[in-house]
Amino acid sequence: MSHNTFGHLFRVTTWGESHGPAIGCVVDGCPPLIELAEADIQTFLDRRRPGQNRFTTQRREPDSVRIMSGVFEGRTTGTPVMMMIENVDQRSKDYSDIKDKYRPGHADYVYMQKYGIRDYRGGGRSSARETASRVAAGALARKVLGSGVRIRGALVQVGEIAIDRDAWDWETVDRNPFWCPDPQTAARWEDYLDGVRKAGSSVGAVIEVVAEGVPVGLGAPIYGKLDADLAQAMMSINAVKGVEIGDGFAAAALTGETNADEMRMKDGAVSFTSNHAGGVLGGISSGQPVVCRFAVKPTSSILSPRATVDREGNETEIVTKGRHDPCVGIRAVPVGEAMMACVLADHLLRARAQGQAS
Amino acid sequence: MSHNTFGHLFRVTTWGESHGPAIGCVVDGCPPLIELAEADIQTFLDRRRPGQNRFTTQRREPDSVRIMSGVFEGRTTGTPVMMMIENVDQRSKDYSDIKDKYRPGHADYVYMQKYGIRDYRGGGRSSARETASRVAAGALARKVLGSGVRIRGALVQVGEIAIDRDAWDWETVDRNPFWCPDPQTAARWEDYLDGVRKAGSSVGAVIEVVAEGVPVGLGAPIYGKLDADLAQAMMSINAVKGVEIGDGFAAAALTGETNADEMRMKDGAVSFTSNHAGGVLGGISSGQPVVCRFAVKPTSSILSPRATVDREGNETEIVTKGRHDPCVGIRAVPVGEAMMACVLADHLLRARAQGQAS
Amino acid sequence: MSHNTFGHLFRVTTWGESHGPAIGCVVDGCPPLIELAEADIQTFLDRRRPGQNRFTTQRREPDSVRIMSGVFEGRTTGTPVMMMIENVDQRSKDYSDIKDKYRPGHADYVYMQKYGIRDYRGGGRSSARETASRVAAGALARKVLGSGVRIRGALVQVGEIAIDRDAWDWETVDRNPFWCPDPQTAARWEDYLDGVRKAGSSVGAVIEVVAEGVPVGLGAPIYGKLDADLAQAMMSINAVKGVEIGDGFAAAALTGETNADEMRMKDGAVSFTSNHAGGVLGGISSGQPVVCRFAVKPTSSILSPRATVDREGNETEIVTKGRHDPCVGIRAVPVGEAMMACVLADHLLRARAQGQAS
Amino acid sequence: MSHNTFGHLFRVTTWGESHGPAIGCVVDGCPPLIELAEADIQTFLDRRRPGQNRFTTQRREPDSVRIMSGVFEGRTTGTPVMMMIENVDQRSKDYSDIKDKYRPGHADYVYMQKYGIRDYRGGGRSSARETASRVAAGALARKVLGSGVRIRGALVQVGEIAIDRDAWDWETVDRNPFWCPDPQTAARWEDYLDGVRKAGSSVGAVIEVVAEGVPVGLGAPIYGKLDADLAQAMMSINAVKGVEIGDGFAAAALTGETNADEMRMKDGAVSFTSNHAGGVLGGISSGQPVVCRFAVKPTSSILSPRATVDREGNETEIVTKGRHDPCVGIRAVPVGEAMMACVLADHLLRARAQGQAS
């Protein structure tokens, strides 16, 4: 069983709390002979790192990763790769006033009910800080997948403002603080989120992650479906409330004629004329781009007082004053990419084991 | 690893193909001393059974379940419960013309690419017939959960026609062929689906499953989240393309103030003033109803010819003439309920093991 | 978790009780395109079948296996292979007098304490009848391993009489009712066991299983060691109390100089000058024969009355009158072979997934 | 799958190499609210620590453990407990001459064949240094089991010299450098091992671990048997070649009459008149002491030159000059205790989940 482990053959076990000495992960099952340096991991951690602009939490963490095992003379050895990130800017005092009050939308109440104890400093284990470990593991997963598989994510909706999909330009994604593929929408979000931030409020978002170059045949029937594992992976990210593959919920309104991705031959290979399926048929990759979207709820930490109760069962109010994201969905983009990479790497190893004919 | 197994402590392994001698499942981990008769399982299989009205496939299967092990003198013994359902109405000849052609939207192409062989009769392992095993397992899961947990599903959208949520009446669900909680919408669907059926077409649907009476504290942090496991469970059902918990994708457009489910005391217990979260906080049940929705794509088998290719790489067309559902989403309602039951039963056993304080 | 499942990538889940309608297993993870007929399985079941001579239980079971899924047109499809064996000669009445008494050495008492219920007919789930499912799975595992891997077992000790290892002749094993590799010892066992049988007594035994042709590199460090998995596999067989790899306990008395299996080059490949290690180094196969021995305790069912207690806590005596083996170790030979095959097949698939360099 | 993870509900994942910056483990599934300080772990690490007398390796490691997560204000929180031990006294230069030669009896050759790369410094991942992580996890497992379960180990054979079992005195175990329960044999071992050490040779050993106070009902039928999991656990320890439960291999020579542990009532509870079974019946604990023995082969690193080959396939000789144990079995005593504790803690949590009637 795997409360803190993700994946089967490419297995990621994360550990650590927001305000402990460090966080990290153990990746078991990574094949040997992969060239790996800390810089390979750091690149992706830097993309996720908080405090880089005014739209994400102002916690200042260098998020420097250290590879503690599993690498010898610059290559993986097939033994567990432990990657550790020290916590530096913790400011435990910020959280002292919420020690006994349950923040609405947070896990405070359920942790206390379940465990009878919680590390209330910065959310403890339920902090989004844990996602740094996912990003580290995802960077390694990309190495396992190799350069033929390209995984990119983008923010496609912030609050009520969605991008213009016809304007999608991957080149733009890295040029704005939102990973937005549509520059005009990015500009609108900037104004919009400034207002949200100044009001001490928050909004939700939708992220889309696309994997190109995925070989045919990843995934397995029934309970080892690629799309089911992606759904689990994305839903396991903090604050995610919905996951779609391909057309997702829009598929419900289509007819069978429209939804069918017809097949033709092209250069001697099977080619699809559309991708409503999002690259997955019967739980198995079809060779088309794997397309996954997920919705992130608005950050629960806001400046408006909310009604709540405390540990002793008294009704009270709470205002969360800490350093938080007006739109936690922004930082979820690299996390979604990382989860896509981990799921695909796991299924690549599974396919090798289990009868890939081609 | 678990290609055909679902769950960790309440473990369901299914086996069988659409046109083999039988299908079934082994449930490992079922606690002892639960009263269990075949009739307890049959009730739920009868709800899912095909051929009951003109809106579902006309395949006639009695779907009689037989308990082969794990029950002694009317009670479970703690050993594996194997439940078997014979296949009766198979008509293999219906499928002979699709032996070499890949049906768009089906798993034909990817199975062939992955395995180099496929049982093309009725979809083989990828047939929705496998979901009968899920329903049998789900019936047992309900027994494990006990009568305090009530799990009900409803169809809330067919094609482009959604129900009026204000008209929701659970009493209505069993009185129409669609599991529709809104009688007026049910009437509209009847006309609409008659048209779809006569046109040889198909449409998608959205199903909502609600579990009431779920105790606080089911689920676990990070990779054992209740909502993540529900997402995986629902996405593993044939033809599902999206999953939502609580407000789902709509949460992206909300502000933190609106989305917060505030807490008050009521009769000495914590009570929430709303349920945007769908009963799950930080991956752990909050005691509110667990609300899960999923979208089913339109049945891929339609009477209009679609462009495709065959095994030899020739371009061709295909028409699927078999007995099929104009809206496969209808029969997905009891399957969704069953998956909800299995996930909750699994997490109930996990909570017993792992530190439930209360 | 896997109470009734064995293996990770070649996963065997068994179900069924001694006196239920049938027993069987689901093998998940079997690669596709393997030629498989029921006769391939039946051959091995026939070797284990009870009632074949006067030294094993006189229960008459045809043990006819039926493949219920996972095979299409004579080849595996990559989906679960369910194999079922009906129970025919059950004679429930034989067991009625032990319904409330705990047989010493049997699992009666602990099952009752653990589960509060037990199927007392023939031992229920704890009956050695379950091992027929293992033999079926093992026959499939041999197919996965291919003809290059040869797995053979032999009985090397019965009661206090061990074979003369210098007289070992594999050809002899199939020519006596004991799978004995030493004809002279076989003759001694025949007399000895006749005496044991007539006295209503029983004795233990030691089985040795050898796998030749195992490629280098099966197994993995630390908790995925080939020898650790073999130890678990053999110890999971009914009545087994000890397991050895290579020299086993005798290695404790050796010096490092004697125990070292030195290496030389032979025909361009590494060759070992001895095999104290039993084919496993650091948990990984070395290419030498994998040698595993296990000890089986004497059958607990004997005709001499033994002191025991009943369910109500009364002191009493018990005599087990059923049809039983004077030396259950004899029938453990094909079971040990089957477990060796399952462990190796599982590790072969793992090695494919995880970085086998060669 | 679990190459570097042990256990299901009390899950231990270890990481780290002999000569990397640190080693450690992540324990997932530890229940909350257990009082835990680093000193609780350190006590057990100190027992295993090398360099404490002339009979174990002279590597000087303080083995100071640091708890990195999962503990808040002195109690476990239910989240993963990561425990880290820095490597201090590494002396990489000692190993440079064995970089390309395969040491007989070591994992050098198979690692290289399997992975195509190995960290040759001190054995890398295959070093017995990994067992420090097991001891740390075992210390936590003892806390989970509570003070009612007492786990003690002893060395019962060194080379050809076994203890006198009638002289067994647990009080003596901590008073000699061998964990020997028989003072007179301890004195003989001292002379004997001085000779072995001076000769640059090594010998094997047998360890016995006994757990008292284990409740009835731990373990589960078939593939979740307590004794099978113990066999796997002990066989996974470096250099172990055999495992026995209760009478072990000696049971093969017994008759059913002798081997039967008869039952009587004593103070209103079931009591056994003997413990040939070693506390396990049908894979489930009986309430008697759980008795497990395992054999450790002689240390492979010796001063006498042995014939071997190098990476290029040249025949050569090797002498291992490093700091090594003349009898690695001595330090295996606390490791065996730790594995017993981990297995029992895992099964205790499983029993809570799965239907323990009492």
Instruction: With CA atoms as reference, report the closest residue to D105 among D334, D321, D320, D355.
Output: D320
ipTM, two decimals? 0.96
Question: What digits encode the pLDDT tens for the residues D41-84?
Answer: 999 999 877 667 777 766 677 899 999 999 999 999 999 999 99
Cβ atoms of C125 and D221 closer than 8 Å: yes
C-alpha span between B46 and B54 (Å, rounded): 16
Question: What digits encode the pLDDT tens for the residues B115-165?
Answer: 999 999 888 999 999 999 999 999 999 999 999 999 999 999 999 999 999
pLDDT of residue A261: 97
Domain borders along chain A are 5-354
Residue A172 dihedral angles phi and psi, to the nearest 5°: -75, -25
Nearest residue on chain B to C35, alpha-carbon basis: B117
DSSP A35: B
Contact D32 B350 (CB under 8 A): no
* SS3 assignment, position A284: strand
Cβ atoms of D358 and D287 closer than 8 Å: no
Question: What digits encode the pLDDT tens for the residues C259-274?
Answer: 999 999 999 999 999 9
- On chain D, the residues whose CB falls within 8 A of the CB of B33 are 355, 357
Residues of D with CB under 8 A from a CB of A: 1-5, 8-9, 11, 13-17, 20-24, 26, 28-29, 32-33, 66, 68-70, 72-73, 75, 77-82, 114-119, 124-125
Walk along chain D (358 residues) and give the pLDDT tens digit of each residue.
679 999 999 999 999 999 999 999 999 999 999 999 999 999 999 987 766 777 776 667 789 999 999 999 999 999 999 999 999 876 656 666 788 999 999 999 999 999 999 999 888 999 999 999 999 999 999 999 999 999 999 999 999 999 999 999 999 999 999 999 999 999 999 999 999 999 999 999 999 999 999 999 999 989 999 999 999 999 999 999 999 999 999 999 999 999 999 999 999 999 999 999 999 999 999 999 999 999 999 998 888 999 999 999 999 999 877 666 789 999 999 999 999 999 999 999 999 987 665 4
Q: Taking the CA atoms of B167, B172, B173 and B178 in sequence, report the sign of the dihedral they define.
A: negative
Pairing of β D280-281 and β D161-162 = unpaired
* Residue D69 is labelled as binding a ligand: no
| B358 has pLDDT over 50 | no
Question: What digits encode the pLDDT tens for the residues B164-195?
Answer: 999 999 999 999 999 999 999 999 999 999 99
- Strands (E) in C122-230, as ranges, are 150-158, 161-162, 205-212
- How far is the alpha carbon of D162 from chain C, nearest alpha carbon, in Å? 10
Question: What digits encode the pLDDT tens for the residues C301-340?
Answer: 888 999 999 999 999 999 877 666 789 999 999 999 999 9
Give residues with Cβ within 8 angstroms of C93, minimum separation 6: none
Contact B115 C33 (CB under 8 A): yes
- For residue B89, name the pLDDT band (cuts at 50, 70, 90): confident
- On chain B, the residues whose CB falls within 8 A of the CB of C9 are 1
Angle between helices B332-353 and D332-353 (to 10 degrees): 130
Find the farthest-apart pair of alpha carbons in chain C and give their distance in angstroms, rounded: 70
Nearest residue on chain A to D115, alpha-carbon basis: A32
pLDDT of residue C116: 94
Question: What digits encode the pLDDT tens for the residues C81-112?
Answer: 999 999 987 665 666 678 899 999 999 999 99
Cβ atoms of A343 and A280 closer than 8 Å: no
- Mean per-residue pLDDT, C210-234: 97
Cβ atoms of D10 and D30 closer than 8 Å: yes
Helices (H) and strands (E) in chain A, counts: 7, 18
- Strands (E) in C165-289, as ranges, are 205-212, 240-245, 263-266, 269-272, 280-281, 284-285
- On chain D, the residues whose CB falls within 8 A of the CB of A20 are 68-69
Query: What percent of chain C is modeled with pLDDT above 90?
Result: 84
C-alpha span between B201 and B304 (Å, rounded): 7
Instruction: With CA atoms as reference, report the closest residue to D240 among D293, D310, D313.
Output: D293
C-alpha span between D111 and C281 (Å, rounded): 9
Paired tokens of D84: 């880290």
Contact C295 D270 (CB under 8 A): no
Strand partners, A66: A84
C-alpha span between B176 and D188 (Å, rounded): 86
Nearest to D16 among A68, A119, A124 (CB): A68
Paired tokens of D140: 């936590």
* Residue B129 is labelled as binding a ligand: no
- How far is the alpha carbon of D347 from chain B, nearest alpha carbon, in Å? 10
The one-letter amino acid code at D184 reads Q
- For residue B101, name the pLDDT band (cuts at 50, 70, 90): very high
* Residue C300 is labelled as binding a ligand: yes
Order of strands across the sheet with D11-16? D5-6, D11-16, D22-28, D81-86, D65-67
* Residue D47 burial (CB count, 10 A): 19
* Residue B48 is labelled as binding a ligand: yes
| C199 has pLDDT over 90 | yes
C200 CB burial (10 A radius; 0-12, 13-18, 19+): middle
Q: Which residues of chain A have pLDDT under 70?
A: 1, 50-51, 57-59, 90-96, 322-324, 355-358
pLDDT of residue C358: 47
Instruction: With CA atoms as reference, report the closest residue to A77 among A63, A67, A65, A66.
Output: A67
| C285 has pLDDT over 50 | yes
* SS3 assignment, position C236: coil
Kindly report the three-state secondary structure assignment for every residue of C252-279.
Answer: HHCEHHHHCCCEEEECCEEEECCCCCCC
The one-letter amino acid code at D116 reads G
Q: What is the 3-state composition of chain A as percent helix, strand, coil, each rounded to the nearest 5? A: 35, 25, 45
pLDDT of residue B42: 96
Order of strands across the sheet with A150-158? A161-162, A150-158, A205-212, A290-296, A240-245, B240-245, B290-296, B205-212, B150-158, B161-162
Residues of B with CB under 8 A from a CB of C: 1-5, 8-9, 11, 13-17, 20-24, 26, 28-29, 32-33, 66, 68-70, 72-73, 75-82, 114-119, 124-125
- The reply to whether CATH 3.60.150.10 applies to domain C5-354 is yes
Q: Taking the CA atoms of B329, B335, B341 and B347 in sequence, report the sign of the dihedral they define.
A: negative
* Residue C126 is labelled as binding a ligand: yes
Contact C353 A353 (CB under 8 A): yes
Show which subunits contact D, needing at least 3 CB pairs below 8 angstroms.
Answer: A, B, C
- On chain D, the residues whose CB falls within 8 A of the CB of B29 are 353-354
Instruction: Please spell the DSSP secondary structure of C126-147, one letter per residue.
Output: GSGGGHHHHHHHHHHHHHHH-T
C-alpha span between B80 and B64 (Å, rounded): 19
- On chain B, the residues whose CB falls within 8 A of the CB of C2 are 11, 28
Compute the mean pLDDT over every residue in chain B, rounded to the nearest whole number.
93
- On chain B, the residues whose CB falls within 8 A of the CB of C11 are 1-2, 5
Contact B353 D352 (CB under 8 A): yes
- How far is the alpha carbon of A277 from chain D, nearest alpha carbon, in Å? 30
Alpha carbon distances (Å) from A183 to A53, A171, A334, C244: 17, 10, 19, 68
Kindly report the three-state secondary structure assignment for every residue of chain D.
Answer: CCCCEECCCCEEEEEECCCCCEEEEEEECCCCCCECCHHHHHHHHHHHCCCCCCCCCCCCCCCCEEECCCEECCEECCCCEEEEEECCCCCHHHHHHHCCECCCCCCHHHHHHHHCCCCCHHHHHHCHHHHHHHHHHHHHHHHHHCCCCEEEEEEEEECCEECCHHHCCHHHHHHCCCCCCCHHHHHHHHHHHHHHHHCCCCECEEEEEEEECCCCCCCCCCCCCHHHHHHHHHHCCCCEEEEEECCHHHHHHCEHHHHCCCEEEECCEEEECCCCCCCEECCEECCCCEEEEEEECCCCCCCCCEEEEECCCCEEEECCCCCCCCCCCCCHHHHHHHHHHHHHHHHHHHHHHCCCCC
Cβ atoms of A282 and A220 closer than 8 Å: no
Alpha carbon distances (Å) from D303 to C285, D55, D104, D196, D318: 26, 15, 12, 11, 9
- Mean per-residue pLDDT, C145-171: 97
Contact B298 A206 (CB under 8 A): no
Paired tokens of B30: 């079922």
Pairing of β B5-6 and β A315-318 = unpaired
pLDDT of residue B91: 63
pLDDT of residue D358: 47
* Residue C298 is labelled as binding a ligand: yes
C-alpha span between B289 and C352 (Å, rounded): 45
C-alpha span between A56 and A48 (Å, rounded): 10
C-alpha span between D310 and C265 (Å, rounded): 10
